[in-house]
Amino acid sequence: MASALAASTAVCSSPVASASASSARRLRAVPPSRGIRYQALRADSGFAGNRRGGGRGASVVCAVQGQDTSIQVPEVTKSTWQSLVMESELPVLVEYWATWCGPCKMIDPVVGKLSKEYEGKLKCYKLNTDENPDIASQYGVRSIPTMMIFKNGEKKDAVIGAVPESTLIASIEKFVER
């Protein structure tokens, strides 16, 4: 019965969850899902605990297959800065970020969403401050994430930190043609 249940439902599981008959009974209470398919991924994050995947230190990460919910923001570098940002006809929002920055990872989907919403009115790029420190220091970036708006080749506004979407919208609306 447990194998028939596993074939008909799409749930994330770990060795701990399927170890006992009582957990199999609990799984039967979960209604089958037909909309989203999940694939269990092993979390290789190096946290303390049992590294073999069992026990209290084990964790399971689930990923949605076939759906990319985030919009990728194109990168700008020192070599493309002049043409993409300074010579742009539209206002440009530049997200200063780094791969190790947690708040940068939080704000990135928001910037991606705004780039889609303001398509044709605003261009959005992200600049890795570790790979392009000279541009970051030229514009006085001391904390990341920092979002700057440029219009006609000039820095117009800056927002520092992982702020709510409404804060970015208020800043963008000052410089976007209606």
Report the pLDDT value the prediction gives residue 35, as an integer from 0 to 100: 54
What is the average pLDDT across 139-153?
A: 95
3-state secondary structure of 166: helix
Of 88, 86, 80, the C-alpha closest to 139 is 86
For the chain, the structural domain boundaries read 73-140+149-155
pLDDT of 29 reads 52
Say yes or no to pLDDT of 173 above 90: yes
pLDDT of residue 177: 82
- For every residue of 81-139, DSSP letters joined together read HIIIIIT-SS-EEEEEE-TT-HHHHHHHHHHHHHHHHTTTT-EEEEEETTT-HHHHHHT
Mean pLDDT of 119-138: 95
**Residue 146 parent element (H or E):** strand 146-151
Which fold does the domain 73-140+149-155 belong to in CATH?
Glutaredoxin (3.40.30)
pLDDT in tens, 67-126: 455 688 999 999 999 999 999 999 999 999 999 999 999 999 999 999 999 999 999 999
Q: Identify whether the C-beta of residue 111 lies closer than 8 Å to the C-beta of residue 82.
A: no
Structure tokens at 151: 């219009």
Q: Quote the pTM value.
A: 0.62
Pairing of strands 146-151, 154-160: antiparallel
Across 133-151, average pLDDT: 95
Catalytic (active-site) positions: 101, 104
The model's pLDDT over 12-58, given as tens digits with 9 standing for 90+, comes to: 333 334 344 444 444 445 555 555 554 544 444 444 444 444 445 54
Label residue 8 by pLDDT band (50, 70, 90): very low
Q: Could you count the other beta carbons within 10 Å of the beta carbon of residue 144?
A: 23
Which of the pair, 151 or 33, is modelled with greater confidence? 151
